[in-house]
Amino acid sequence: MGPDQQRLTSAERSNLVAYLDGELNEAEAQAIATKLTKSATARREIEALEKTWSMLDHLPRAQVSDDFTARTLTEVQRLSTEGGRFESAVRQTTQRVFRVAVWMVVGLLTVGAGYAITRWVWPNPTARLARDLSIAEHLDEYREVGSFELLDILAHSSEFGTDAD
């Protein structure tokens, strides 16, 4: 594509209306002007845009009713008061979320305290069994003996190394 057929970039094309109205800064306006002087394709694009704008002047203009301004201002005022309601709704929702979070923290602390009490303060029945494991292992044998009298007799018998007195 030769320099006389360069097309406008999408950024330049979006700035064409501002260029025609003289609203671009000096650097952007100079870049578009340079491209228009060097490229016939770019000149055709801007000419098409100018023709479109001139055709728009021939279209009938929309007529607004007499109460359009009053309705618009009423709607703006209504929306502005609803904006205050929105802010108060956000504030109330934030307060509710904060309360729920506080209650959740209190609940978790209560559960944690209950767990700590049952874990470290409440007696653990399995700890006693672990302490007395040797007794538990021979419990059936101790039950067969029946009483301490038999153990006394056995302890003082000659079979176990002591003589009866």
Residue 9 shares a structural domain with residue 45: yes
Burial of 42 (0-12, 13-18, 19+ CB in 10 A): buried
Same domain, 28 and 8: yes
Q: Three-state SS string across 33-66, please?
A: HHHHHHCHHHHHHHHHHHHHHHHHCCCCCCCCCC
Same domain, 88 and 109: yes
For residues 100 and 142, state if they share a domain.
no
Tell whether 129 and 115 lie within a shared domain.
Answer: no
Terminal C-alpha separation, the chain = 130
Residues 103 and 74 occupy one common structural domain:
yes
Q: Choose from 2-11, 12-21, 33-42 the range with maximum mean pLDDT.
A: 33-42
CA–CA gap between residue 154 and residue 162 (Å, rounded): 9
Count: domains in the chain: 3
Q: What's the pLDDT at 98?
A: 96
- Quick check: pTM over 0.95? no
Residues 109 and 76 in one domain: yes
Q: Tell me whether residue 161 is in a domain.
A: no
Q: Do both 79 and 107 map to the same domain?
A: yes
User: In terms of domains, do 14 and 48 share one?
Assistant: yes
Q: Which tens digit of pLDDT belongs to each residue from 62-116?
A: 888 878 888 888 888 887 777 667 777 788 899 999 999 999 999 999 999 999 9
Does residue 82 belong to any structural domain of this protein? yes
Residue 163, domain member (yes or no): no
62 domain residue, yes or no:
no
Q: Look over the chain and give the mean of its residue pLDDT values, rounded to a whole number.
A: 82
Domain coverage including residue 79: 68-122
Q: How many residues does the chain have?
A: 165
164 within a domain of the structure (yes/no): no
Q: Is 96 inside a domain boundary? A: yes
